[in-house]
Amino acid sequence: MDLSMRTQAPCRALAALLAVFLAPSALAQSTGTIIPIDLERLRFMPGATDSMLVDTGHVLPEGGYRLMLMAGYERGILLVEGGDGVERNIINYRVAAWLAGAWSPTERLELSAKLPVIITQGGEDVTALVGVTEPKSFGLGTPEVGARYSLLRREDGAPVFLGLGLDIGLPGGTASAFGRQDGWAGFQIAPRIAVGREVGPLSLGASAGVRIRSTEVEPGRDFGTELEQGVVVATRGEGLRGEVALQAAESLVESDIALELLGGLRLPLGSGFEAYAMAGHGFTDIPGTPSLRINAGIAWAHTPPAREDPCKGGRTHTPEQCPDLDDDGDTVPNGQDRCPLEAGAVENQGCPDKDSDGDSVVDREDACPNEPGLPRYKGCPAPDADGDGVPDDEDACPKEPGDKANRGCPAPKAAPDSDGDGIPDDKDACPKEPGDAAHNGCPAPEEKPAEQTPPQEEAPNGPPMDHHVLFPTGEFALQEEEKQQLDGIAKYLKAHPRLSVSIEGHTDNTGPEELNRRLSQQRADMVRRYLIQHGVAGSRLVAKGYGPSRPLNGNGTPEEQRLNRRVEFITKPTGKAPKR
């Protein structure tokens, strides 16, 4: 006998399915034995938080539970076409019942269980069909346990409910009554994701998942793993509620899709009881999709008392629970406060201001956050052109090293000593040339090299040490004209061995400050290195860069910036001449 399961044309677009109601395609004739399969396609939610029929991601409150008993009638469940071309309703009707329940042991988690019972079913006489055994009229469907976990919740301020679900079909169904799959001992697994949201008086929801189960090879088609989707629109409120849902199951082993439209009503009876009813119509002849479905039942739900608002009356709470409060008292609400438990500044989004360099100027207002400075200089060190530790604005001699006791000026001397050899000019036979007391302030004859030339006279415009070595923007290499000036400075220093020199590098204010400080040090180091190469003892030379912190006359014009890209010299006597 040739048998085939009647199928529909493949169609993947749900909207197109509704438009054309899945026009059936031609069926091929084949011969084989019908293997028992799980024909039940009704998917319902025991917790029924927003919908009885589609998961919306909204789980029962912690400690809540719902028990339900439901009975139903289905018609037109399994059609078979014999080799004689005649279609027969192998299972034309089924009366079934479900005992189900859901419970939320902890926040965000809901557990459920379903036990379907096939009370009676029947169809046309199939004794004349080869390979077909009349299904048993009574048996169990596939028992199922499930879990749902809420990833996002509206009560926490999320824009939608978002949840994960997992249903597991267990052995126990009666295969000969088409209550379970023949393979895998009847095991099934159905993971899904669900989303929902309230819109005015309505709740909207959608879910998508896959039901993984054994593949049964049937005459004319295969039956097995399917993609499952559902959408629902349900009313909200305390009284009579209604909903309309569309459930679809697309086979991954055949080119067909099952589609069923269902509606439901729910009526509270008081004391936690609720009566409900649902009805549906299938648009395809895929096995298990009834042409008519009617279900009714009663449920009892326990809803734990609503929790007290933790944000009222000084109750214990977390900042996340109460975004409108100000737990740290800094006038920034918890929801906008980056440090909700630590008082801070409004300008710093509620977090305390840091002072990395400990100069009492907070980092967000400190122009030099890693270098101690003064508030009047925006947290940067005070300019000190002569490096004597006395700021320029307090230094009576800003270009001459001194001490604080003398307001930045050198300590007064009893008598002038032009050559710095420790012998006053009025007792120095050589007041312009360093010497010693044994020779009345003149150099010892044996200390003068034969080839030594007389000390270079000061230039008409002043000592060579007053010269500023200038540099192009961003460079520290010496220009040829500056090298000529440095040659004269080297001769002058060799002629005055008792002088030590502070070589100070500077930049204009263009570019990052840290880069300018490094560039000013490179300029000072380059000049020092040149003088050492031309015979000046390195022990007499100290190089230090100050970046843009010590401008000559500001940085407002290109000319002022050019004069600030400089190295200048600060001289002071060392007390004794270096050894030759």
Instruction: Using the predicted structure, report yes or no on whether residue 494 has a pLDDT greater than 50.
Output: yes
State residue 84's pLDDT score: 62
User: CA 506 to CA 566: how far, in whole Å?
Assistant: 5
Among 99-103, 179-183, 424-428, 509-513, name the one with the lowest average pLDDT.
Answer: 424-428
- Show the tokens assigned to 476: 């520290």
Nearest to 388 by CA among 398, 402, 399: 402
State residue 359's pLDDT score: 80
User: CA 487 to CA 478: how far, in whole Å?
Assistant: 12
State residue 328's pLDDT score: 84
Instruction: Provide the angle, in degrees to the nearest 10, between the axes of the packed helices 513-533 and 480-495.
Output: 60
How many CB atoms lie under 10 A from the CB of residue 210? 16
State the virtual CA torsion across 522, 527, 532, 537 in degrees, nearest 10: -100
Question: When comparing pLDDT for 88 and 377, which is higher?
Answer: 377
State residue 129's pLDDT score: 62
**Rounded mean pLDDT, 252-260:** 91
Question: When comparing pLDDT for 182 and 240, which is higher?
Answer: 240
User: CA 303 to CA 318: how far, in whole Å?
Assistant: 25
State residue 83's pLDDT score: 60
Nearest to 542 by CA among 499, 498, 501: 501
**Rounded mean pLDDT, 263-269:** 96
Question: When comparing pLDDT for 336 and 388, which is higher?
Answer: 336
**Rounded mean pLDDT, 118-142:** 81
Question: When comparing pLDDT for 135 and 106, which is higher?
Answer: 106
- Kindly report, residue by residue over 416-447, the tens digit of the pLDDT: 777 777 777 766 767 777 877 766 677 776 54
Among 89-103, 148-162, 293-307, 349-363, name the one with the lowest average pLDDT.
Answer: 349-363
**Rounded mean pLDDT, 313-335:** 82
The full length of the chain comes to 580
User: CA 370 to CA 363: how far, in whole Å?
Assistant: 9
State residue 314's pLDDT score: 64
Instruction: Using the predicted structure, report yes or no on whether residue 21 has a pLDDT greater than 60.
Output: no
**Rounded mean pLDDT, 501-523:** 92
**Rounded mean pLDDT, 362-366:** 82
State residue 26's pLDDT score: 27
The CATH number of the structural domain formed by 4-21+43-301 is 2.40.160.40
**Rounded mean pLDDT, 215-228:** 85
State residue 388's pLDDT score: 78
Give me Rg for the CA atoms of the chain.
Answer: 48
Question: When comparing pLDDT for 449 and 349, which is higher?
Answer: 349
Instruction: Using the predicted structure, report yes or no on whether residue 455 has a pLDDT greater than 60.
Output: no
DSSP run (H or E) holding 350: none
Instruction: Output the CA–CA distances (angstroms, integers) from residue 59 to 51, 65, 74, 241, 467, in the order listed.
Output: 11, 10, 29, 18, 83
State residue 366's pLDDT score: 83
In degrees and rounded to multiples of 5, residue 186 shows phi and psi of 90, 0
Q: Share the mean pLDDT of the chain.
A: 83
Instruction: Using the predicted structure, report yes or no on whether residue 15 has a pLDDT greater than 90.
Output: no
Question: When comparing pLDDT for 415 and 199, which is higher?
Answer: 199
Instruction: Using the predicted structure, report yes or no on whether residue 371 has a pLDDT greater than 90.
Output: no
- Kindly report, residue by residue over 384-418, the tens digit of the pLDDT: 888 777 887 777 788 788 777 777 788 765 567 77
Q: In this prediction, what percent of the chain has a pLDDT beyond 90?
A: 47
Residue 122 bridge partners (DSSP): 93
pTM of the model: 0.51
- Kindly report, residue by residue over 159-179, the tens digit of the pLDDT: 999 999 999 999 999 988 999
Fold of the 463-580 domain = 60s Ribosomal Protein L30; Chain: A; (3.30.1330)
Instruction: Using the predicted structure, report yes or no on whether residue 319 has a pLDDT greater than 50.
Output: yes
State residue 165's pLDDT score: 97
State residue 471's pLDDT score: 94
Q: Where are the domains of the chain?
A: 4-21+43-301, 463-580
33 band by pLDDT with thresholds 50, 70 and 90:
low
